[in-house]
Structure 1
Amino acid sequence: MSKDVPFNCSCGAVSGILRDIRPRSGGHLRCYCADCKQAAVWSGDVTPTPDGIHYYQTTPDRIDFIAGLADLRVFKWKEGRLLRWYAPCCGSPMFNTLDSPQWAFASINTERFNDPDALGPAIAYAFKPMPDGKSKTKGYGRFIIGFTRRTIWARISGAWRNTPFFEATGETITPIKQLTEQDRSGVRQPKPV
């Protein structure tokens, strides 16, 4: 059985619905990496959880905005393909996508949902700090298989074209800010778990 799950930024100016969610439509991941935590702080999240950043990864065609889409801002924390979208009204980290609509990928920060339990439990975690000082990733193989399956299906079906984050030309709906080393150095380091 599928369900629609509402989402919004902290102040409610950006809101929408994650449509038609069922077990195979996405996956719930916890990421403990410093980049995700620091990028959240740069966006304006003053209290990122030490329990990792929770994301629900799915395809962009499942995301419908009710309000605030034009207000979203996007940046690259470092060089690479990952784009991080946030609501500047309240600093809420909202989404991650890749830098081309042809990669039908969107992860949504689960703090943006009134009922994150509706997305199911986390099936994977990445870079979780361990007592010996190393980090551990678990369940990632299954997670990558799901990502690959959804991306291929979106390419075959044409659903990759149905994305709120990109224009028909392939450009993002708002200019991408590439953060510099100086931008990143001003962000406080996340506290260890």
Structure 2
Amino acid sequence: MMPTTVSLACSCGEVKGSLKVEASHYFHVSCLCCDCQSFATNLGQAGTILDEHGGTELFQTYPQYLTITEGKEQITCMQLSEKGLFRWHTRCCNTPIGNTMTSANVPFVGIPVTFMKFASEEEKQEALGPVIMKAFGKYAIGDMPADTHPRFPLSFLPKIAHFMMRGFLTKKHSPSPFFLDGQPVVKSNGES
């Protein structure tokens, strides 16, 4: 399967970019955790980002595959706790861009699918494939969906470990739109 390029844009169009979708180098998931829900609420975007159960559709891949081509000066970041993920979003319209660990050396970014631009649901499915895992269903709004794991499925850990090891060995953490010379491009604004 040939790599696919997906267009990225925030809701107001100030921030644009592209994402390389490389076969077997990603996970298409839904996260219902309370932090993802809090992030959407803090941005004032809960109605846009979250599904009816409070899930955020995420595309987890390597930072090297994500490029911001316009509006880099609009990128900012928050942490929901002192040791929490860096949650990157735009200043202009509070569109979420991606979640990373706090270290520039970790080859991981979770990109909300709402930052991606598709002409149709079919185009999205063709580019990203189906959601393969729904986690942290214990935080679901209303009843937990039947296809959702209450926490994080342990059966998924070997896949994550293999993904991370391959990323470390092939240095897929860099370049990253979020880190420059090992430092975040902006400081986290902390809890908001």
- State the TM-score, normalizing by the size of structure 2: 0.82
Deviations 1:30-77 (A, max 9, x none): 111222112112123151332411000001000111111221110101
- RMSD over aligned Cα, in angstroms? 2.3
Name the amino acid aligned to 1:75. M
The alpha-carbon distance between structure 1 residues 123 and 61, as it changes in their structure 2 partners (threshold 3 A), is same
1:100 CA displacement: 0.6
Q: Does 1:98 find its partner at 2:111?
A: no
Q: Does 1:111 find its partner at 2:114?
A: yes
Larger mean CA deviation between 48-57 and 92-101 belongs to 48-57
Q: Does 1:166 find its partner at 2:179?
A: yes
Out of 85, 110, 118, which is 2:88 matched to? 85
Name the residue aligned to 1:175: 187
Contact 1:14 1:68 in 2 (8 A): yes
Deviations 1:67-113 (A, max 9, x none): 11221110101132411001121111121000011111101000111
CA distance in 2, matches of 1:33, 1:70: 29
CA distance in 1, matches of 2:43, 2:190: 13
Q: Does 1:49 find its partner at 2:51?
A: yes
- Structure 1 gap segments, 5+ residues each: 184-193
Contact 1:44 1:90 in 2 (8 A): no
- State the TM-score, normalizing by the size of structure 1: 0.82
Name the residue aligned to 1:149: 162
Percent of aligned pairs with the same residue? 26
CA distance in 2, matches of 1:142, 1:26: 16
1:145 CA displacement: 3.1
Contact 1:44 1:92 in 2 (8 A): no
- Length, aligned pairs only: 177
The alpha-carbon distance between structure 1 residues 142 and 70, as it changes in their structure 2 partners (threshold 3 A), is farther
1:141 CA displacement: 4.0
